[in-house]
Amino acid sequence: DADVTQTPRNRITKTGKRIMLECSQTKGHDRMYWYRQDPGLGLRLIYYSFDVKDINKGEISDGYSVSRQAQAKFSLSLESAIPNQTALYFCATSGQGRNYGYTFGSGTRLTVV
Amino acid sequence: GDSVTQMEGPVTLSEEAFLTINCTYTATGYPSLFWYVQYPGEGLQLLLKATKADDKGSNKGFEATYRKETTSFHLEKGSVQVSDSAVYFCALSPASGGSYIPTFGRGTSLIVHP
């Protein structure tokens, strides 16, 4: 099994619909993150969580919400999807400290029509 | 704030050519530096890292040296293969602040032809 599992892998949804992207990890890390990837823009941080009771906004949190259900689970919701939220979404986890790299999931390709 | 600048892509090479992807950074103190690779249809994978000045990170034939004097962490490989075709991201994790949230470059696409 993958260290970080994201579901679904692909999703097409309509404007105005609520959608949830799920992420689970088996690394045993406390820190989890949600990123968005757009062509030419690299990765942008949406939300991050350093433990179950800790949720923090990233640089582009508007229009998104998150839930940390357990140490291993971190879900991202789009309450009312809009077309410019069409992107590739990645979940990641890391240990604490600056020398830890990230472990990423395989991504969810979301299309809002 | 912190920033990472990578060379624009795509970089197009023939198999067995020498690869350099430039990365420079702006940060306070001595951040940790990383290279990630993203193969088509996959998430990013940590390729190598260096955590202090003059350290050399290496993995799968790739190398990068932490150069504090030039604030650079250029990725090199002596002989690329078609299977190295991917997008490469340079990143830094700040030296202080507690959160250690990394800053990523925009990525450089590498295309290797047979």
Q: How high is the pLDDT of residue B100? A: 84
* Cβ within 8 Å, pair A98-B104: no
The whole-number average pLDDT for the span A74-95 is 96
Mutate to test the interface with A, among B3, B6, B90, B101 (most CBs of A within 10 A): B101
Q: How crowded is residue B108: how many other Cβ atoms within 10 Å of its Cβ?
A: 20
Calculate the alpha carbon distances from A6 to A29, A108, B99 in Å.
Answer: 16, 7, 24
- Reply yes or no: is the peptide bond before residue A39 cis, omega within 30 of 0: no
Rounded CA-CA distance B46/B109 in Å is: 16
One-letter amino acid for residue A70 of the chain: A
Strands (E), A1-107: 4-7, 10-13, 19-25, 31-38, 42-51, 54-57, 64-70, 73-78, 87-94, 103-104
Greatest Cα pair distance, chain B, in angstroms, is 46
Shortest Cα distance, chain B CAs vs residue A81, angstroms? 23
Mutate to test the interface with B, among A4, A23, A43 (most CBs of B within 10 A): A43
Mutate to test the interface with B, among A33, A98, A104 (most CBs of B within 10 A): A98
Q: Does A5 touch chain B (CB under 8 A)?
A: no
Taking the CA atoms of residue A6, residue B38, residue A98 and residue A60 in that order, the dihedral angle to the nearest 10 degrees is: -60
Q: How crowded is residue B45: how many other Cβ atoms within 10 Å of its Cβ?
A: 16
DSSP letters for B24-62: EEE-SS--EEEEEEE-TTS-EEEEEEE-STT-EEEETTE
Residue of A nearest to B33 (CA): A99
Contacts of A103 in chain B (CB under 8 A): 46
Taking the CA atoms of residue B13, residue B56, residue A41 and residue A14 in that order, the dihedral angle to the nearest 10 degrees is: 100
Q: How high is the pLDDT of residue A85? A: 97
Give yes or no for residue A79 having a pLDDT over 80.
yes
Q: Are A55 and A65 a contacting pair, CB within 8 Å?
A: no
* Cβ within 8 Å, pair A102-B102: yes
Which residue in B51, B94, B106 is closest to A40 by CB distance?
B106
For residue A61, the number of C-alpha atoms closer than 13 Å in the C-beta half-sphere is 11
Q: What is the mean pLDDT of chain B?
A: 94
Residues in chain B: 114
Residue of A nearest to B90 (CA): A42
Tokens representing residue B53 in the block: 């000045």
**Helix, strand, or coil here: A64?**
strand
pLDDT above 70 covers what percent of chain A?
Answer: 100
| Residue B73 banded pLDDT, cuts 50, 70, 90 | very high
Q: How high is the pLDDT of residue B98? A: 72
Q: Which residue has the higher pLDDT, B7 or A46?
A: A46
Q: How high is the pLDDT of residue B25? A: 97
The whole-number average pLDDT for the span A16-28 is 97
Q: What is the mean pLDDT of chain A?
A: 95
Q: How high is the pLDDT of residue A61? A: 96
Residue of A nearest to B87 (CA): A42
Q: What is the CA radius of gyration of chain A?
A: 13
Please write the tens of the pLDDT for every residue from A42-62: 899 999 999 999 999 999 999
